[in-house]
Amino acid sequence: MDKIRVVGGNPLAGRVEISGAKNAALPAMAASLLTADTIQLENVPYVRDILTSRKLLQEMGAEAEVRDDGTAILKAADIHSREAPYELVKTMRAAILVLGPLVGRFKKARVSLPGGCAIGARPVNLHLMGLEQMGAKCEVVHGYVEASTEGLHGARILMDTVTVTGTENLMMAATLADGETVLDNAACEPEVSDLAGLLRGMGAQIEGDGSRTIRIQGVRELRGCRHRIIPDRVEAGTFAVAAAITRGDVEIVNCCPQHLTAVLTQLAQTGAEISVEPNSLRVRGKDPIVSKSMTTHPYPAFPTDMQAQYMALMTQGDGSAVITETIFENRFMHALEMIRMGADITIDGRQALVKGRKPLTGAKVLASDLRASASLILAGLVAKGETWVDRVYHLDRGYCRIEDKLARLGANIERVS
């Protein structure tokens, strides 16, 4: 199994290109199930979750090609299976995203329940509640959600928690429902708006995406289209922290700084110098790194997907910072590994007290999820000696050759098979 070896100490400098957003490409691929026509996507990141999604579509009978130049060509003309099997869902929870499109177009779906994972329980009750309000019957049998309907109808659905994939699933299902669906307390993440843009290109009638209320007027059928996936804001944010933590100077191009307002504002408060252009940004790390507390919230606030990386930065702060995680109940596993590298972190429920000014030393560390893996690499970039990050498959789920991109910026990092 591959490992990443990092030797800390080099300030990063240069320019890095950001890939397309995994969390926008995954719902876009699922949306291809809503039509028999061809959907062509551009700027799709060539990462493990995308290949898993390709496999899932292919097993259902779709034609699905994903190229490493960022193009994906998808055609769901001949779907013979309406099932997402456990074997695929357990490696990629986002497979739940096929539920809405399958019920919407084929009136039937059987999708394995994802179960918990390294960051929390991650229920899908709101996905099911919404589909039921639209006229589907959802039952859990042998670990699978079995959903069926005579035909979905519009409904007013209030989600009591903001859920990204829940909003996406219901938005996709509603595009082919009879009448108007209103999603209240919807997620307004850029990935939701990107999906809405794709669906509109397919002929759907959607308004209000990007706000807490989304209105979808159902149509009889959708058609093919071409769509470009937005840049990955979490990858861009990860490189911004990499620049700050190494006191480097990095230009991050092909990104959308507008989607990173909360992250960049927070980084600026820690002393980093940030300049922003429409499609790029430059981060210059400064000494000292100022310790600043932070709380995660749904977009547009600071994202949970950047919490681990920010924690790595705070281990090098000049004082103490409290990091509060409000989205997932168990997303501090990286802290335990950072402590093994010499960090001073105390966890109390959903809060972590990070005391800075602690020199880190390289160690063998285990990543428990995608963003945790990235945060351990960031810690390794400033640790004395070698850090070995194990279970790199987590990293490969969502980052496109991060070690190559970091090496080009001057990091001493390699993948060891």
Task: Indicate which residues carry an active-site annotation.
Answer: 117
DSSP codes joined into one string, 393-405: HHHHHH-SSHHHH
Q: How far is the CB of 99 from ligand EPU (least distance, A)?
A: 11
- Asked if 56 and 98 count as a contact pair (C-beta separation under 8 A), the reply is yes
Q: Which is nearer to ligand EPU, 209 or 305 (CB)?
A: 305
Q: How far is the CB of 8 from ligand EPU (least distance, A)?
A: 24
Other CB atoms within 10 Å distance of the CB of residue 287? 8
Q: Which is nearer to ligand EPU, 145 or 289 (CB)?
A: 145
Closest C-alpha among 333, 287, 290, 302 to residue 119: 333
Give the residues across from 14 on adjacent strands: 250
Q: How far is the CB of 96 from ligand EPU (least distance, A)?
A: 8
Q: Which is nearer to ligand EPU, 297 or 340 (CB)?
A: 297
Q: Which is nearer to ligand EPU, 114 or 285 (CB)?
A: 114
Q: How far is the CB of 237 from ligand EPU (least distance, A)?
A: 12
Closest C-alpha among 226, 202, 221, 199 to residue 73: 226
Coil/strand/helix, residue 288: coil
Residue tagged 């281990």 (tokens): 315
Which residues form the interface with ligand EPU (CB under 6 A)? 23, 26, 94, 120-127, 161, 163-166, 191, 303-305, 327-328, 370-371, 398
Q: Which is nearer to ligand EPU, 8 or 399 (CB)?
A: 399
Q: Which is nearer to ligand EPU, 165 or 291 (CB)?
A: 165
Burial class (CB in 10 A: 0-12, 13-18, 19+), 121: exposed
Q: How far is the CB of 79 from ligand EPU (least distance, A)?
A: 22
DSSP codes joined into one string, 110-177: EEE----BTTB----HHHHHHHHHTT-EEEEETTEEEEE-S--B--EEE-SS--HHHHHHHHHHHHTS
Give the residues across from 144 on adjacent strands: 112, 141
Closest C-alpha among 169, 168, 162 to residue 147: 169
Q: Which is nearer to ligand EPU, 70 or 303 (CB)?
A: 303
Q: How far is the CB of 164 from ligand EPU (least distance, A)?
A: 4
Closest C-alpha among 229, 216, 5, 194 to residue 104: 216
Backbone φ, ψ for residue 302 (5° rounding): -65, 125
User: Strands 144-148, 137-141: parallel, antiparallel or unpaired by DSSP?
Assistant: antiparallel
Closest C-alpha among 345, 394, 388 to residue 365: 388
Q: How far is the CB of 281 from ligand EPU (least distance, A)?
A: 21
Q: Which is nearer to ligand EPU, 169 or 246 (CB)?
A: 169
- Phi-psi label, residue 72: left if phi above 0, alpha if psi -120 to 50, beta otherwise: beta
The rounded distance, in Å, linking the Cα atoms of 225 and 286 is: 45
Q: How far is the CB of 285 from ligand EPU (least distance, A)?
A: 24
